[in-house]
Chains A and B, each alone.
Chain A
Amino acid sequence: MSGDTPIDPIDSLGEPTEAELAALAQLLGNGALWHELPAGVEDAVIETIGAEVDLSAPASTRQRPRWLIVAAAIVVAFGLGTLVSLLGADDPDGPGVTEFALASTDLAADATGTVELAELRNGLRIVLTVDSLPPAPEGQFYEAWMRTPDSGVSAGTFHMRGESGSIELWAGVLSDTYPIFSITLEDEDGDASSSGQVVMKADLTQPLDD
């Protein structure tokens, strides 16, 4: 009885044309279409997103291990003196300031300057003192970077269209792990990556008073 036979949806698709079969034969031989998914990526995605969800959740909804609460109590009880002494590090002229020489490249051959770093509670304070670095042309700007040989973190932008002098910037990373400081000339093109046009640089493993 036809009424008892389930209708297979594939029957409504119609037969492929010769042209379609030829096109499929051409497409389906592409090896890139048949690669198996790499193992572990699905779990890595879940873990990464899970960690960010946890971080973005209100503090009251996050579960903390009991040992962490105990450790926090110990820090509060015994660490106040240390905390008070650290507050003094907000003074950029305090003992935490280290100065480095800025070397120019061929792109700004006459420029000279120094960079001072101070590790404060909320980040790395950077004070540039530069001379003869030309103003960035319209449509361009300078960008400071904390770098390793393989990657970099932006430390802010400026244009030098005023007078030579000091510029204060901040970075969320430390020179221990990013031992190179550089300044690049960037286009206002919406591309956040470095242009590679380095105009000045400093080796943060070689302080001036060494």
Chain B
Amino acid sequence: MIGVDEMVERFRAGDPDAIREVYRRHAGAVFTVARSITNDRELAADVLQQVFVKAWRAAAGFDGSRDLAPWLYAIARRTAIDAIRKEHRPTQGGHEPEVESVVHTMSFERTWEVHEVRRAIDELPDTEREVVRLSHLEGMTHEQIAGRLDVPMGTVKSRSSRAHKRLAAALRHLRDESPDPANQTELRTVETDEDT
């Protein structure tokens, strides 16, 4: 695996291997932010692509000794909000007086939380991730998971225990971060054109 400094340096240079490495480490979290803000799979896919291209274009100004994740998160959130603004301006080329509409977006802290949780999920070993998914997303019991995966129930319990240890440790920093109340609800004013 490439070290972060080297990976960022090669990412800046447009090295396809480094771009793939950055994408594979961070795309899940970026996509989760994009989906959470846009509520649209196609739009979120566009945002996902734009985020990594924008990041590459801006990489010259990035300090390679820092963590890429918060930087990519900021780009993802801004890009997703911009995508919503464009979606709310369907007659951009028409010539209409301004009509204001308001879009409610998930708060900065909430999107950061889902970003970090998705990162933590993506870093789990595949076998542990699947147990967590079946348990929390599909609501299955350990016994049902054991049947689905065709493994002993002790194995399911062990994987679940280890996964929860990893997740709790990876997400402990979220409890220490105090959200800014000013960002709890973000309102965006969106301009649209209308025919005159």
Interface residue ranges, A against B (CB under 8 Å)? 10, 13-17, 20-21, 23-25, 27-35, 37-38, 41-42, 44-46, 48-50, 52-53, 105-107, 147-152, 180, 182, 193-198, 201
* Residues on the B chain within 8 Å of A28, using CB: 117, 121, 132, 135-137, 167
Question: B112 interface residue, CB < 8 Å from A?
Answer: no
CB pair A37–B165 under 8 Å, yes or no, is: no
* Residues on the A chain within 8 Å of B179, using CB: none
Residue of B nearest to A193 (CB): B85
* Residues on the B chain within 8 Å of A44, using CB: 49
Would you list 27 pairs from A and B whose C-beta atoms are within 8 A, ordered by A residue? A10-B165, A13-B168, A14-B169, A20-B172, A28-B135, A33-B32, A34-B121, A34-B133, A35-B32, A38-B31, A38-B41, A38-B48, A42-B20, A45-B23, A46-B19, A49-B56, A50-B14, A53-B13, A106-B97, A147-B93, A151-B92, A152-B92, A180-B95, A194-B92, A195-B191, A196-B98, A196-B192
Given contacts A45-B23, A46-B20, A198 and B168 within 8 Å (CB-CB):
no
Question: B142 interface residue, CB < 8 Å from A?
Answer: no
CB pair A34–B165 under 8 Å, yes or no, is: no
Given contacts A24-B168, A33-B121, A195-B98, A48 and B89 within 8 Å (CB-CB):
no
Q: How many residues of B contact A (CB 8 A)?
A: 57
Question: B187 interface residue, CB < 8 Å from A?
Answer: no
Smallest distance from the beta carbon of A19 to chain B beta carbons, Å?
9
CB pair B92–A150 under 8 Å, yes or no, is: yes
Given contacts A33-B121, A35-B31, A38-B31, A198 and B92 within 8 Å (CB-CB):
no
A208 to B172, CA, bound (A): 68
Given contacts A13-B169, A28-B137, A196-B96, A33 and B52 within 8 Å (CB-CB):
no
CB pair B49–A41 under 8 Å, yes or no, is: yes
Interface residues of B in 150-180 (CB under 8 A from A): 162, 164-169, 171-172
Given A10-B165, A42-B23, 17 further pairs, Cβ under 8 A = A10-B162, A13-B165, A13-B168, A13-B169, A14-B169, A28-B121, A34-B121, A35-B41, A41-B48, A45-B49, A50-B16, A149-B92, A150-B93, A182-B95, A194-B89, A196-B99, A198-B193
Q: Within the complex, which residue of B49, B89, B114, B166 is in contact with A10, where a contact is CB–CB below 8 Å?
A: B166
CB pair B35–A24 under 8 Å, yes or no, is: no
CB pair A13–B137 under 8 Å, yes or no, is: no
CB pair A147–B92 under 8 Å, yes or no, is: yes
